[in-house]
Amino acid sequence: MLSERFTSLRAAHRRALVCYVTAGHPDRARSLDLIRGLAEAGADVLEIGVPFSDPVADGPVIQSSSQEALEKGMTLNGALELVAEAKLPIPVVLFSYLNPIIAAGPNVLERARDAGVSGVLVTDLPVGSDAEREAWFGAGPLDFVRLVAPTTPRDRMAEIAKHGRGFVYLISRLGVTGMHAELASTLPASIATLRSVCTLPICVGFGISTPEHARTVGALADGIVVGSAIVQAAGRSVREAVDLTRTLRAALDEIE
């Protein structure tokens, strides 16, 4: 379903808007309203984050949303129930640290598919880190989305692209998730290098939060991922997060 979505976007010369939410934040009921609202507001892909107790790749906004969600009892299984209940018209990518996935048992990827999830992205399972588990993800029913960092050398980018499915998630800057006023100056070069070794759609995330960012990055990549800005807005109100999504959608649609 991810590849179909990207194929139709490409045909329409549109850029993908990938929206991240932390499952169960600010609470379960509002989380459900939020993901439905984001899909209606023009998100192309929803990344549903499984809250984890030790999110080393995340900045303060997603750390605290994860903490809140955990305190309210959210789990990986809870996130799958949320997805099943939402019945979204757009593809859903499960976004998780490895440990909750391992703990969820050997049939978790099948259960995720049954809940309506299309892809899976694991923050702390880089290419080459664990052949057995990577093969398990690769052979499973979900598109295994891989990450590329600004530090990744070109030959490794090619290796990652070869192992990835759905799209490649390019991290825009060094560091953890979170909002920044400026985009990293190295980003255009990273996108160009990745493009030269990768046929999958490229979506850029980390530090993308404003319509200006969306226009700039959308002009270079196939899509953008917005996380912390949406999570922070959702912490204030679902409406605010939905409005932000509309604004980002409009900005992306101004391209070309």
Q: Exactly one of 101, 145, 200, 229 binds another protein (CB under 8 A); which one?
A: 101
Closest of 64, 83, 63 to residue 23, by C-alpha: 83
Active site residue 240: no
Taking the CA atoms of residue 69, residue 206, residue 86 and residue 30 in that order, the dihedral angle to the nearest 10 degrees is 40
Point out which span in 10-18, 28-36, 37-45, 50-58 binds another protein (CB under 8 A): 50-58
Point out which span in 21-29, 118-126, 136-144, 188-196 binds another protein (CB under 8 A): 118-126
For tokens 């050997």, name the residue.
Answer: 106
**Site map 61..90 versus another protein, x via CB under 8 A:** --x---x--x----xxx-------------
Nearer to another protein, 44 or 58 (CB): 58
Active site residue 58: yes
From the CB of 63, what's the least distance to another protein, in Å?
Answer: 6
From the CB of 98, what's the least distance to another protein, in Å?
Answer: 5
From the CB of 36, what's the least distance to another protein, in Å?
Answer: 25
Q: Is 188 left (phi over 0), alpha (psi -120 to 50) or beta?
A: alpha
Applying CB under 8 A, does 166 fall inside the site for another protein?
Answer: no
For tokens 């640290």, name the residue.
Answer: 97
Measured in degrees and rounded to the nearest 5, phi and psi for residue 208 equal -105, 115
Any idea what the Cα angle at residue 51 is, between residues 46 and 54, rounded to 5°?
135
Provide the 8-state DSSP code for 208. Answer: -
Nearer to another protein, 37 or 119 (CB): 119
Nearer to another protein, 63 or 245 (CB): 63
Applying CB under 8 A, does 97 fall inside the site for another protein?
Answer: yes
Residues 6+ apart with CB under 8 A from 33: 238
Please give the residues from 120 up to 159 whose contact with another protein meets the rule CB under 8 A: 123-131, 147-153, 155-156, 159
CA-to-CA distance for 81 and 77, rounded, in angstroms? 6
Q: Which helix (H) or strand (E) holds 194?
A: helix 187-197
Q: Are 99 and 66 in contact (CB under 8 A)?
A: no
Nearer to another protein, 37 or 78 (CB): 78
Residue type for position 255: I
Applying CB under 8 A, does 98 fall inside the site for another protein?
Answer: yes
From the CB of 228, what's the least distance to another protein, in Å?
Answer: 14
From the CB of 134, what's the least distance to another protein, in Å?
Answer: 9
CA distances from 198 to 16, 64, 156, 248 (A): 17, 34, 11, 26
Nearer to another protein, 42 or 59 (CB): 59
Nearer to another protein, 79 or 90 (CB): 79
Closest of 18, 44, 41 to residue 245, by C-alpha: 41
Please give the residues from 13 up to 32 whose contact with another protein meets the rule CB under 8 A: none
Catalytic residues: 47, 58
